[in-house]
Amino acid sequence: MAPSDRHHLAVLTRIPTLPAVVARVYKALDLFRGAQLNTLTRANMDYLRLCVFLVFLVNAGSWPFVWHIRVFWPIIVARIRFLLLRASLLFKSPSERNRIIAERVEALCPVGSNPFELVTTYRRWASIDDVDMFGMHLSNSSYAKALDSARLRVMWKAFPAWSVSQGVIALGATHYHFIREIPMFARYEVRISIAAWDQKWLYVIARYVTPPKRRRTGEAMSNGAISTHDQSPADSDTNISSPNHLNLNGTATLNTDGFISDTDKFEKTLNEAFAATNKRSRTPIVEPDGSVLHCIAVSQLCFKQGRISVPPAVALACEGFCKPPVDSSAESGAVPRRYSASNPPPHWAKVRAMRVPPTGSMKRFKQFLAGGWKTSAEETGDKWWEEALSGPIEEKRKKNLEVLHALRARMEGVRGVY
């Protein structure tokens, strides 16, 4: 072989084959693509983690056990206070300890109050986890969720002695009438008041309203009243006065002016609500304070001491609810003094003798609730709990009960409709 041929062959052997070049280029491209994919994957994972965190955060109201904490929060706080009180009385004698605890319970009772004037306001807002994302308004299921918390608060504030006696207030039924949707992110209130009672059931009304915006002086309200000052939701709370405020979480006030809790207008409000629904009208139903009514819920509650049902009148009278004092001084022109803890109603001495040491105890009170009221009425004929809630209280109870019994009868009549 000639020297020139050997030289050309050596040059050819140094040239890499085509597959080797392709493999090397592919490897370089693969490394470049892998680096890009790793960068994109890390960025996507960061965004994914952020999205998951935001979804988890905006649904905080629906986390596990949040509903339980929200509903039972008044009881949790009251139990903590009770334990702290017992700890502070550790070095007291048993009789003195029981007396002080009983007096603390008595101080929480709404003595002298009209049961129809008790209004508890529970404030919420239409958060993302509570709304219907298609309609952008509060989901129908969230009305019951808010009512659970509001209902327990009014029961704890209206019946503190019953709660301490370990009695149960069982929910029998709840009827909802949806009138107008609550917009997303809107603040709303659940206003609960006692409407009526019979031998077994206590009927409680919940009104879902959105508070009025600040109005200017002299602006006429829809019900014909004139607002003479700037009024905001905070102002409306201060207008609800009470002879004895109950400060146990949430806002509980006794409305003595009929400002919000005038249950005489309950039938009228229901008729307006049904009429608005039948006419497909978008005209809002306005409450006396200017709030817009969105929903009405009626709950049936039953008082249980063990397996025994206790008439609501017995439970109400044992908490201090009663009729107003008789105006015996009308001739002299003096205004009758309202019943209160310092000026208790006539039946309150019997309740204290049964519940407060040295003559009474919580055990004796529980025995009275578990059937002693029936035995006492049969032996002595004294139904002091009915006398305490007679007069104008009984008249309003009967009037409201007609409406509520009609509602219940119609709902029960639906069972036969297929």
Express each pLDDT in 191-212 by its tens digit. 999 999 999 999 999 999 999 8
Listed residue (251, 107, 49, 270) closest to 177, CA to CA:
270
Domain assignment of residue 9, yes or no: no
Q: The domain spanning residue 94 has which CATH number?
A: 3.10.129.10
Listed residue (209, 208, 226) closest to 217, CA to CA:
226
Q: Amino acid identity, residue 347?
A: H
Q: Amino acid identity, residue 177?
A: H
Let me know how long the chain is: 418
Q: What are phi and psi of 11, to 5 degrees?
A: -65, -40
> Does an H or E element contain 147, and which?
helix 140-158
Domain assignment of residue 377, yes or no: no
Express each pLDDT in 235-267 by its tens digit. 333 333 333 433 333 333 444 344 344 555 555
Residues 6+ apart with CB under 8 A from 95: 357, 358
Spatial separation of the C-alpha atoms in residues 272 and 278, rounded to whole Å: 10
Torsion of CA 189, 194, 195, 200, to 10 degrees: 130
Q: Side-chain half-sphere of 234: how many Cα atoms within 13 Å?
A: 1
H helix intervals, 308-391: 312-318, 348-355, 362-367, 373-380, 384-388
Domain assignment of residue 415, yes or no: no
Contact 375, 314 (CB under 8 A): no
Domain total for the chain?
1
Q: Hey, how many other C-beta atoms are within 10 angstroms of the C-beta on 13? A: 7
pLDDT category at 274 given cuts 50, 70, 90 is low
In the predicted model, is pLDDT for residue 145 greater than 90?
Answer: yes
Contact 285, 292 (CB under 8 A): yes
For residue 118 the two structure tokens come to 């008790």
Domain assignment of residue 124, yes or no: yes
Domain assignment of residue 382, yes or no: no
Angle, vertex CA 66, rays to CA 65 and CA 70, nearest 5 = 120
Residue 178 or residue 16, greater confidence? 178
Q: What is the pTM of this model?
A: 0.74
Cα 14 → chain centroid: 88
Strand ranges (E), 179-274: 187-197, 201-210, 251-254
The 3-state DSSP class for residue 87 equals helix
Domain assignment of residue 218, yes or no: yes
Per-residue confidence (pLDDT) for residue 197, from 0 to 100: 96
Neighbour-count burial of 28, counting CB atoms closer than 10 A to its CB (0-12 exposed, 13-18 middle, 19+ buried) = exposed
Mean pLDDT of the residues in the chain = 79
Domain assignment of residue 7, yes or no: no
Share of the chain above pLDDT 70, in %: 71
Domain assignment of residue 138, yes or no: yes
Q: Containing domain of residue 153, as a range?
A: 59-316
